[in-house]
């Protein structure tokens, strides 16, 4: 909860809008930026001021939004704006869930993903230091088109005029209203009660006019980073904010000792962890809870999702999800590591190899053209090209185990369930259906037969016989 000094009474987070500009069946607030939903970013920022109560006002597609809240922030309070009638009405719905309280109430939005808790804390600090009844978060932008303009007299805010209502002189003002505020609780409560509809809507801005009419101080906190006031209304804006967030994340890791060869083509989500001296090559996407240890080289053209990469490992032109790649192991090019893959130290998963639920031991190599699913391979084993671990019988999955220091010849099919012992050899082209004991050689293929004259007798129009006929003519 925090003390009176480092907390606020409540945050009302507005998340009831229709978001029709996204043209999506999914709520706008559930669209993602840097691996997290817009709503998740907004809740995290709101929690940065340690509110005694955090209320999310839902409305349009509320079932989706509330289900998502159950996943990311189940403890927050919810208020429903059944009939959307403007920002003032939305805040009034949220205030009902807050109940009677003194102190400060912060109003923010669910679609401003670059806003940070630190900025909200500075907004609240400014509000307290100036003794304001209302403090608005503003920013100065190059192109203020479409935004409400801030009307000032020194440090006092005289009002906010919407773009459509502004005259030419007011439209020349480039300080804009973010729509994010801190209110003294009683001022907000009384001001909302005095609102009258305009075109059927109650406008929260009118509470500022009400406060000034009572002789209360209305001030502003100017945020230099205008991106923190930018909202998402359509997919164009989502892409722009995603690119800016990614630029910041990539720059942060570079300052912490990570080499990023081409920041413009590298995407790193917020939950990723990188150690110094990691190299990230162009076209790389790092997602989820991926962690990469010092000295690892990733890319180019690689996507890792929830993958753990050990020190000094290399991953080249590959895809991996929910996998572990241990120290000094190598992956790729063109490898596909599916969930449950664990590649041991100095192991190798090579070109055009697919793995799934496979534990591959230290120094073991699966170099190329192999499917390795539901398998456990001991240390120092080599898997020849074209080997298939046939794990599915059409109904159930079965597991294959191969011991240490064993050799599986090229073009072998291991038909699970089957076990190959330590130091065993399996001849190329075998189809194993039975276990192979340690130290044994397994040959599971038919004996070769060569039948002289068969082609001329049975395939008279082959290239060979046609050529012989032509030569005779």
DSSP strand pairing (134-140 vs 218-222): parallel
- The second-level CATH assignment, the architecture, of 318-442 is 3 Solenoid (2.160)
Here the tokens at position 184 are: 């003294």
Instruction: Enumerate residues 6+ apart whose C-beta is below 8 A from 126.
Output: 132, 135, 219, 221
* SS3 call for 74: coil
Bridge partners of 273, per DSSP, are 291
- Domain ranges within the chain, ordered by starting residue: 8-229, 318-442
Give the chain's radius of gyration (CA, Å). Answer: 32
pLDDT digits (tens, 9 = 90+) for 239-258: 999 999 999 999 999 999 99
Q: Which pLDDT score is estimated for 461?
A: 65
Q: Which pLDDT score is estimated for 2?
A: 40
Long-range own/partner contacts, residues 127-130 (CB < 8 A, 24 or more apart): 127/182, 127/219, 127/221, 128/104, 130/155, 130/217, 130/219
The string of DSSP letters for 251-305 reads: HHHHHTT-EES-GGG-EE-TT-EE-TT-EE-TT-EEETT-EE-TT-EE-SS-EEE
Would you call 368 a catalytic residue per the annotation?
yes
pLDDT digits (tens, 9 = 90+) for 276-287: 999 999 999 999
Q: Which pLDDT score is estimated for 115?
A: 98
Catalytic residue among 368, 398, 419, 458: 368
Q: What is the pTM of this model?
A: 0.91
**What's the whole-number average pLDDT of the chain?**
94
Bridge partners of 430, per DSSP, are none
CATH 3.40.50.1100 corresponds to the domain 8-229? no
Q: Which pLDDT score is estimated for 227?
A: 97
Bridge partners of 107, per DSSP, are 12, 181
| Measured distance CA(331)–CA(353) in Å, rounded | 9
pLDDT digits (tens, 9 = 90+) for 181-204: 999 999 999 999 999 998 888 999
Q: Which pLDDT score is estimated for 459?
A: 77
Longest dimension (CA), the chain: 115
The size of the chain, in residues, is 473
| Measured distance CA(175)–CA(231) in Å, rounded | 16
- DSSP 8-class letter at 90: H
What is the tally of helices (H) and strands (E) in the chain? 10, 37
Instruction: Enumerate residues 6+ apart whose C-beta is below 8 A from 99.
Output: 53
**DSSP H helical segments within 336-462, as ranges?**
454-458
Contact, 368 vs 350, CB < 8 A?
yes
Contact, 109 vs 179, CB < 8 A?
yes
| Measured distance CA(246)–CA(380) in Å, rounded | 40
Q: Which pLDDT score is estimated for 3?
A: 41
* SS3 call for 366: strand
* SS3 call for 182: strand
Segments in the chain below pLDDT 70: 1-5, 460-473
Q: Which pLDDT score is estimated for 55?
A: 98
b/e sequence 101-110, b meaning 16+ C-beta within 10 Å: beebbbbbbb
**DSSP H helical segments within 73-174, as ranges?**
87-98, 117-130, 168-171
| Measured distance CA(445)–CA(434) in Å, rounded | 13
Q: How many CB atoms lie within 10 A of CB 245?
A: 21
């Amino acid at each position: 909860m925090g003390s009176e000094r480092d907390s606020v009474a409540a945050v009302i987070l507005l998340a009831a809008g229709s978001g029709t500009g996204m043209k999506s069946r999914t709520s706008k607030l559930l669209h993602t930026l840097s691996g997290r939903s817009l709503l998740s970013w907004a809740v995290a920022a709101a929690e940065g001021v340690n509110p005694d109560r955090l209320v999310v006002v839902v409305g349009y597609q509320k079932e989706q939004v509330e289900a998502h809240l159950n996943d990311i922030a189940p403890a927050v309070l919810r208020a429903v704006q059944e009939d959307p009638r403007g920002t003032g009405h939305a805040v009034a719905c949220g205030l009902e869930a807050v109940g009677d309280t003194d102190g400060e109430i912060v109003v923010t939005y669910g679609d401003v993903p670059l806003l940070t808790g630190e900025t909200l804390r500075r907004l609240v600090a400014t509000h307290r230091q100036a003794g304001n009844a209302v403090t608005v978060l503003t920013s100065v932008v190059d192109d203020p088109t479409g935004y409400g303009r801030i009307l000032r007299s020194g440090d006092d805010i005289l009002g906010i005029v919407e773009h459509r209502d502004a005259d030419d002189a007011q439209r020349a003002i480039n300080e804009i209203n973010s729509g994010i505020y801190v209110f003294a609780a009683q001022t907000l409560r009384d001001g909302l009660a005095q609102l009258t509809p305009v075109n059927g809507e109650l406008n929260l801005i009118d509470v500022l006019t009400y406060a000034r009419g009572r002789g209360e101080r209305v001030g502003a906190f100017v945020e230099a980073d205008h991106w923190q006031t930018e909202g998402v209304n359509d997919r164009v804006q989502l892409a722009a904010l995603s690119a800016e967030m990614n630029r910041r994340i990539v720059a942060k890791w570079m300052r912490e000792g990570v080499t990023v060869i081409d920041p413009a083509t590298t995407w790193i989500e917020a939950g990723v962890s990188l150690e110094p001296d990691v190299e990230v090559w162009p076209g790389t996407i790092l997602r989820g809870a991926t962690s990469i240890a010092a000295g690892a080289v990733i890319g180019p053209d690689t996507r890792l999702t929830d993958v753990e990469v050990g020190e000094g490992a290399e991953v080249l032109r590959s895809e991996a999800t929910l996998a572990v790649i241990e120290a000094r192991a190598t992956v790729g090019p063109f490898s596909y590591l599916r969930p449950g893959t664990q590649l041991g130290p100095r192991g190798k998963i090579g070109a055009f190899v697919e793995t799934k639920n496979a534990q591959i031991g230290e120094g073991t190599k699966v170099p190329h053209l192999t499917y390795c699913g539901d398998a456990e391979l001991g240390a120092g084993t080599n898997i020849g090209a074209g080997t298939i671990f046939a794990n599915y019988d059409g109904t159930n999955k079965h597991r294959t185990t191969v011991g240490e220091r064993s050799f599986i010849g090229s073009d072998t099919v291991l038909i699970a369930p089957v076990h190959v012992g330590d130091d065993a050899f399996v001849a190329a082209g075998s189809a194993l259906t039975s276990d192979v004991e340690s130290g044994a050689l397994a040959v599971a293929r038919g004996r070769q037969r060569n039948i002289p004259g068969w082609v001329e007798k049975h395939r008279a129009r082959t290239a060979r016989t046609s050529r012989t006929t032509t030569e005779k003519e």
